[in-house]
Structures are given as structure tokens and as C-alpha cells.
Structure 1
Amino acid sequence: MRHMLALILSAALALPAAAGPGSEPAPPVVVAEVARLEWGVFCALQAMDRAPAPGTASGWIHVPKGEVSFHWPDRQVVPAALGLAFGVKVTGAKGWETAVGEVRVYRPGRTTPESWASDISSLGATLAFFRFDTESELVPGTWVIEGWDRDRRLYRVEFEVVPGAAVPEITNACGATS
């Protein structure tokens, strides 16, 4: 089903997103070279390693020590709560991989994305996510995660971040606070 969705939506790849704060997120968009795109929300309270990422506000990104599963798969509405994360898992079509891959995260109210190097291949899923670590990151509105191969966008997923109290069943499920 997602593969069929990817083919149908790939024609819309060049169209700008119309979603704004408080609206429903637009459906994810992917190109044919992406065999599988998953998205969702997960509890991310576990310890993680760090990798340098000079194109981010913090200068680094989280690197999970183990496999990450989305506790709420296919979900694009995210409560703003410390310890929660949202993101995507991407697998390339058989025999395909990015040449120069990059993840871009657009925060509400910012025109310049945070970015870091990340490749996509057919050998396994690549995870890209944002974890709420500080109160200053709990910004409601439309957040966007995109994957790029040089100057070509491969996927785009919008997430609508809402106050933690709006989705207490997720906010409280991980022991997160906001």
C-alpha cells in the first residue's frame, strides 16, 4: 500500500506544501527510488550516542544504540513533550542508493533547515528523527523532515506538533513531561 502511495504521490513532489500551523499534515511524498517509507512517533528516553552534525542547532545528532521502532507508526500529529521523538525510516529500491544524501529538518518559524549527512540504500532502513531534548524545542506547528540526494528531494514528511496536553495518551505513555 505504501509503495502504491509512493508512486501516486511522486508526481506531486515538486508542489509546495499547503499545510500551516493547526492544520492536518500533508500526506508524505516520495520518489520511485524509495521502496519503503515509514514514519511515526516513538519514546526516546533511552541513552543514545552522538554524531557531529554542524548543520544543526546543537552541532550534533542522536545515534540510537539499538533498533528503533515507532510506538505510534503512521502518525504525523506529535505532542510536544520532552523525551518523545518523531521521524522516518527509509529504504531504497533494490540496487539503488543515494550518492550524496542529506536529511533536512524544518522547524516552525525558521526558513533555514537543520541538516546532516545521511544516505539511503536498498540494504536496510535509514532512520532520521528529531527528539525533544529541551523546553526551547517544544515548538507547536508544522515540522518537516526531508531526504535529499544532492539537489533532488527524495521524500518529505510533515509532522504537526501540538501541545502535550492535546494528546495525553502519548505524552504520558513514555513518562515524558512537557
Structure 2
Amino acid sequence: MLRIACLALLAPVAAAAQPADPLDYDADRIEAVQGVFCEVPTTGQTEAPGTVAGHIELFERIPEFQWLTHVVPAVPGLSFGVKTEATDGTVYGSVVLTLTHPRFAQSGATAQTYVTMLGGASESINAYTFDTEEELAVGTWSFTATQNGEVLYSALFEVVPPEAAPEIASACGGMPIS
């Protein structure tokens, strides 16, 4: 399920994308970093008809990434996404977030979209949490944030079987530690 938190009062995110990184962003407008974290409680939701669930859940605060990686084991309760912060405090409204992923078995979905905002005086996050078996789709997932047709960021994640990233999979309770 898609989760989001915007405009939390946290310290700036420092990130520099390397050419080989699966994260590309407009460094003139935003700073961005991608990562993985164990599921955290949400405080509500807002309608998002372009998503499988029909809504996105909201975080009270921006979760901390426990792993700065683009490799995500397919285990229930694991979350992954992109944190952003405007370089000059600009608020970017009407940002279309598009998430693409391997075909979900039950719904057949391969893409989900919703409108959000980025920027302002603090960081924002767009994240996805594996809540159902259908969502545990192994393969390449992408997050792309655009405003007026211009890409603010694009991030690739590789969702892998739990045994391919056991240190992350076991930390969130998705795989027994041997």
C-alpha cells in the first residue's frame, strides 16, 4: 500500500546520486535519497483512486530509512521509498507520483498513480509497504515524480526473494533467522 508523509519538521537529507545509482533527481530543485525500513504505524489516509487500494496512508512523521539501498526483499510489512527535500524551500504542488511494478496476480495492476506535493521547509517521503501477498511481486519497481510533465525524481528498486537479502528480511520479521 502506498504511504506518504509531507512537510515533517526533520533535518535535511543529504544525498548525492552517482551515475550508476538507481536514483536520478533534479539536483537544482530537490535533494533525494532512497531506502528501506520496517513498517511504521500510520495516522490516517487520503483518497487515491489511481491506486489498487484506492487510498494512500499517511505517516505522522517521516520514518528513518534503516537501509540505504535499492534492494528490497519481498516480505510482508517491509516499506521502501524515496525521501525528498526542496533545495530552496519551494513547495511543488500537483506532483504526480507514478509507481510501476511487476503485474499483481489478482488485480493485474502494473502501475499506480496519485497526486501529492513535495518540498517546502522540510522533507517528504513517498513509500510503499507490502501489506498483501499480491504485492510481493519480485522484479523492478519504479517511483517517478513529475510536475507539469517535468521529472523531479525517478528511482528504481529491485524487489527480490527474501533469501536474496536475508539481513533485511529477517530484521522486519519476514524471515526466520538461521
By the TM > 0.5 criterion, same fold?
A: yes
Matched, 1:107 2:92: no
Distance 1:177 1:53, change over 3 A: farther
* RMSD across aligned positions (CA): 2.4
Matched, 1:40 2:35: yes
**Structure 1 residue 177: deviation in Å?**
5.2
Aligned counterpart, 2:64: 69
Distance 1:122 1:47 in 2: 21
**Structure 1 residue 49: deviation in Å?**
2.2
In the alignment of these two chains, the number of paired residues is 159
- Helix, strand or coil for the counterpart of 2:163? helix
**Structure 1 residue 176: deviation in Å?**
2.8
Distance 2:173 2:66 in 1: 14
Aligned counterpart, 1:156: 154
Matched, 1:173 2:171: yes
The aligned amino acid for 2:137 is: V
Output one character per residue of 1:3-34: Cα deviation in whole Å (capped at 9) or x when no partner: 4x4xx86xxxxxxxxxxxxxxx8521111333
Output one character per residue of 1:41-84: Cα deviation in whole Å (capped at 9) or x when no partner: 000053542221111011011211333100112x0000000000
The aligned amino acid for 2:27 is: A
Aligned counterpart, 1:137: 135
Distance 1:136 1:37, change over 3 A: same
Alignment gaps of 5+ in structure 2: 1-13
Aligned counterpart, 2:9: none
Distance 2:60 2:147 in 1: 26
Distance 1:26 1:32, change over 3 A: closer
Alignment gaps of 5+ in structure 1: 10-24
Q: Percent identity at matched positions?
A: 31
Matched, 1:80 2:74: yes
Does the 8 Å contact 1:84/1:131 carry over to 2?
Answer: yes
**TM-score for the superposition, normalised by structure 2:** 0.79
Distance 1:68 1:76 in 2: 16
Q: Which of 2, 15, 24 pairs up with 1:2?
A: 15
